[in-house]
Amino acid sequence: MPKNLNKEDINFGEVLFGWEINEYEQHERDKRWYILMGVLSFFLLLYAVLTANYLFALVLVLFGVILFLQDMKEPVRLPFAITETGIILGNRYYSFSELQNFWIIYDPPMVKNLYFSTNNVLKHRLSVPLMDSDPIPIRDYLLEFLEENLEEEEEPLSEKLARNFKL
């Protein structure tokens, strides 16, 4: 279970690599995207009402509200650090024992991410943009503590779809 840095006094050692990331990726959406999503939402809502699937209609409306609210505010900047004993993401500390493995997907300029697989059932994957950091020394250091998942050669489908559909 990750530890909250605000509530606990944790000795995580020296910070070896660190940078800031956005809480979420904010996409540039043009007028065409809004028109297309508006039309798609209208037809999905019409389908939900015609089939009396009001829960689906509610989920669609909530999804639209969340996207709108997210679009109206800037993402929060979170510190990320790799320390001697684990990683820090925002105000959460994950020791290396809580992480199963890691992998790096480096295909600039579209994808430059570092992924961690956790033991947590609810949040099984952490995705960290590498920004301008060199992945080679980060990989070399992480290999001392974690196994690299060499089977992962592409970014997860959920992230690819979110980026392509600007969600």
Return the beta strands (E) in 5-139 as ranges.
15-22, 77-83, 86-89, 92-95, 99-107, 111-118, 125-129
CATH topology of domain 3-22+75-164: PH-domain like (2.30.29)
Per the listing, tokens 């959460």 go with 92
**pLDDT, average across residues 29-36:** 89
> Model's pTM, two decimal places?
0.79
Structure tokens at 46: 């019409």
Domain boundaries, the chain: 3-22+75-164, 31-72
Q: What DSSP string describes 77-96?
A: EEEEEEESSEEEETTEEEEG
Q: What is the mean pLDDT of residues 91-118?
A: 89
Q: What is the pLDDT of residue 23?
A: 86
pLDDT value at residue 162? 82
As beta bridge partners, residue 128 has 114
pLDDT digits over 53-81, tens only?
A: 999 999 999 999 998 888 888 888 999 99
